[in-house]
Amino acid sequence: MNKNINIIGRISRIVGPLVQATGVKDAQMLELVEVGDDRLVGEIVRLEQEKASIQVYEDTTGIRPGENVYGSGMPLSVELGPGLLGTIYDGIQRPLELIRDRSNQYIQRGIHLPALDRDKMWRVTPCARKGDSIEGGRIIATVPETQTVEHRIMVPPGISGTLSMVVPEGEYRVEDTIAVVRGERGDQEINLYQRWPVRKLRPYKSKAYPSALLVTGLRVLDVLFPIARGGSVALPGGFGTGKTMLQHALAKWCDAHVIVFIGCGERGNEMTDVLTEFPKLIDPRTGKPLMQRTIMIANTSNMPVAAREASIYTGITLAEYYRDMGYTVAVMADSTSRWAEALRELSGRMEELPADEGFPSYLPSRLAEFYERAGSVTALSGREGSVSVIGSVSPAGGDFSEPVTQHSKRFVRAFWALDRQLANARHYPAVSWLDSYSEYVDDLGGWWVAQGFPDWKELRGQIMDLLQQENRLQEVVKLVGPDVLPDSQRIVLETCGIFKNSFLQQDTLNPMDMFCPIEKQIKMLRLIVLFHRLASRAINRGATLVAVRGTKIYSELMRIRQTVKNEEPEKLDQMADELKRSMDELEARCEKR
């Protein structure tokens, strides 16, 4: 921020990260300010006559009443331009790696460093000409930001007119003027970067209904509980159920062009693992480092609580920026519970009336503001882009009835509930097939048909019905054991056992199983459903369950996720033929008896 900004008041009271100022006349709500002699960054969250309440994004230890408060005249904003990808920021977009180099490992209070490197030269290729009539959102130049993502320089929203100057192709810094727009408000310079308020939705032309699958490579999600591009999902689970691990897998394998990972209030050691492991990961689609298409926002639980509250908005704004370029963006927010706890703490310090479990009464509206910024849109540039939001929830004690989980369910259309028993049994991913759901099933039917799999919805319905039957039968088994059940019911337990072990479970350390392409997923599902149908028919015609288990194809079914390579899905068709022959032979032997 500018050191020459005006004094708008003086500190009168300090309550943790909440600072109150008096004598405030020339200020506005949500204005970005600097507090005290150390110039700590803050934001005005309440105005009452000449009093202002400011939430400070840094440790307030050492500041005193009577020190000045400096106003900027602008809301909390982020810098948007080339150089975002591959960078690690804190909750208010301060570059942590640069701060580490400047401040000897620790973040110094009041440190102000630009989010984008002002000295780095970027190769700019204009795609607009002098004299062109343009408006906000128009792409006027491109920059090779990384080896995998082309950065598209857009005219900021609200600017329109005629291009009176465009620079030739060459290398420029982010602050250099690359074009001048002449309009009703005179000449306006366009740089390689722009600023945008984090709490303000970026405009677009139109919003489309989600209709394409966000492919994750995880069978339980893609087949049973899919999320559409531009969709939103809540990922709740107790401590140790694998929320962060699952989000890491989604960041690596989902078919989004850009990943924004928000570590919001997580434990320091967990965030350290992310920061050390992510730079080493290789993007399986390009062979380049995964960080070349990733932005990371790190705000651990021991960092200032107010910055945790802002980090969610910072991340979603960066995602919308790449969406406007025409990219598919996936936002991983880990975790929204810690963000809600930050809201609760700040609300308590402002002496607001609490609601359920001490959370502020506006918690639902804040959650809605966040999740509803997801979507598939036609941007101002005319390109189609999307932002998909996957927000993890950390309910205390794994209690899904707590307020954050319940309110999140109101604003998302998919719910991936993690089960502690599955996690303890080392079943990965530990997504409960009984408690999870997806409302995108009907929307994605056309996408599956276009991919050549028109039977997906029918197969999904059949296996979900078997899982429900198995759950009811397990209640009987717990009381009297499986031996009292007839073979016609025990085959349901066998089929579901194969489905759980060979389909729902994946090995994140096995290169053959850590990612599963769509074609292999649907053929595996077909094979398991076919097994149930043929085995049930054979049992009805006199075969025994022991005989079914004794077939060679049965043992092969138990190992298909480890024996069939991703690039060899045709082997599953061969297994289906072998399955038919085995069951026909079994039926023939029964008829001879």
Domain count, the chain: 4
Domain at 523, CATH number: 1.10.1140.10
**DSSP type of residue 360:** B
Single out the residue in 389, 424, 444 at which a domain terminates: 444
Q: Are 256 and 378 part of one and the same domain?
A: yes
**Pairwise CA distance, residues 220 & 534, whole Å:** 24
- The answer to the question of residue 224 being in a domain is yes
Is pLDDT above 70 for 4?
no
- The answer to the question of residue 259 being in a domain is yes
Domain at 93, CATH number: 2.40.50.100
DSSP H/E element including 493: helix 487-499
**Pairwise CA distance, residues 511 & 509, whole Å:** 6
Q: Are 402 and 371 part of one and the same domain?
A: yes
**Pairwise CA distance, residues 263 & 30, whole Å:** 23
Q: For residue 246, give the nearest of 216, 226, 224 by alpha carbon.
A: 216
Q: Are 542 and 499 part of one and the same domain?
A: yes
Helix, strand counts (H, E) of the chain: 17, 26
- The answer to the question of residue 450 being in a domain is no
- The answer to the question of residue 425 being in a domain is yes
**DSSP type of residue 222:** I
φ/ψ of 403, rounded to 5, equals -60, -40
Is pLDDT above 80 for 279?
no
- The answer to the question of residue 80 being in a domain is no
Structural domain including 534 reads 456-592
pLDDT digit string (tens) for 223-267? Answer: 999 999 999 999 999 888 989 889 888 988 999 999 999 988 777
Q: What confidence tier does 105 reach under pLDDT thresholds 50, 70, 90?
A: low
Per residue in 128-164, is it b (16+ CB within 10 Å) or e — as a string? beeeeebeebbbbbbbebbebbebbbbbbbebbbebe
Contact 8, 51 (CB under 8 A): no
- pTM exceeding 0.85: yes
Q: Are 136 and 162 part of one and the same domain?
A: yes
- How far CA 316 is from CA of 199, 321, 369, 409, 424, in Å, comes to 9, 9, 11, 19, 33
DSSP 399-455: -TTSHHHHHHHHH-SEE--B-HHHHHTT-SS-B-TTT-EETTTTTTHHHHHHTT-TT
Which residue shows structure tokens 């530990």? 430
Contact 261, 246 (CB under 8 A): no
Q: For residue 32, give the nearest of 157, 195, 194, 189 by alpha carbon.
A: 195
Q: What confidence tier does 281 reach under pLDDT thresholds 50, 70, 90?
A: confident
Q: Are 241 and 332 part of one and the same domain?
A: yes
Q: Are 293 and 427 part of one and the same domain?
A: yes
Share of the chain above pLDDT 70, in %: 98
Single out the residue in 149, 177, 197 at which a domain terminates: 197
- The answer to the question of residue 510 being in a domain is yes
Domain at 214, CATH number: 3.40.50.300
Secondary structure E strands in 293-355: 294-299, 328-334
Mean pLDDT of 333-355: 90
Is pLDDT above 60 for 180?
yes
- The answer to the question of residue 213 being in a domain is yes
**Pairwise CA distance, residues 207 & 210, whole Å:** 9
Residue 590, Cα to own-chain centre: how many angstroms? 54
pLDDT digit string (tens) for 403-418? Answer: 999 999 999 999 999 9
Which residue shows structure tokens 């343009």? 134
**What is the three-state SS of 361-414?**
CCHHHHHHHHHCCCEEEECCCCCEEEEEEEEEECCHHHCCCCHHHHHHHHHCCE
Q: What confidence tier does 593 reach under pLDDT thresholds 50, 70, 90?
A: low
The three-class DSSP label of residue 280 is helix
Mean pLDDT of 48-74: 92
The three-class DSSP label of residue 194 is strand
Q: What confidence tier does 55 reach under pLDDT thresholds 50, 70, 90?
A: very high
Q: Are 192 and 210 part of one and the same domain?
A: no
Q: Are 136 and 226 part of one and the same domain?
A: no
Per residue in 208-225, is it b (16+ CB within 10 Å) or e — as a string? eebbbbbbbbbbbbbbbb
Single out the residue in 146, 174, 197 at which a domain terminates: 197
Is pLDDT above 80 for 274?
no
pLDDT digit string (tens) for 181-219? Answer: 998 888 999 999 999 999 999 999 999 988 999 999 999
Contact 43, 55 (CB under 8 A): yes
Per residue in 35-58, is it b (16+ CB within 10 Å) or e — as a string? bbebbbbbbbbeeeeeebbbbbbb
Q: Are 316 and 188 part of one and the same domain?
A: no
pLDDT digit string (tens) for 460-481? Answer: 999 999 999 999 999 988 888 8
Q: Are 360 and 491 part of one and the same domain?
A: no
Q: Are 93 and 39 part of one and the same domain?
A: no
Mean pLDDT of 121-144: 94
Q: Are 34 and 148 part of one and the same domain?
A: no
- How far CA 382 is from CA of 135, 137, 171, 206, 379, in Å, comes to 12, 8, 27, 10, 5
**Pairwise CA distance, residues 408 & 412, whole Å:** 6
Secondary structure E strands in 278-324: 294-299
- The answer to the question of residue 408 being in a domain is yes
Q: What confidence tier does 26 reach under pLDDT thresholds 50, 70, 90?
A: confident
Rounded to the nearest integer, the mean pLDDT of the chain is 91
| Helical pair 363-371 and 403-411, crossing angle rounded to 10 deg | 40
Q: What confidence tier does 3 reach under pLDDT thresholds 50, 70, 90?
A: very low
Domain at 34, CATH number: 2.40.30.20
**Pairwise CA distance, residues 299 & 16, whole Å:** 18
Which residue shows structure tokens 């000295």? 119
Is pLDDT above 70 for 501?
yes
- How far CA 554 is from CA of 98, 544, 549, 580, in Å, comes to 57, 14, 6, 12
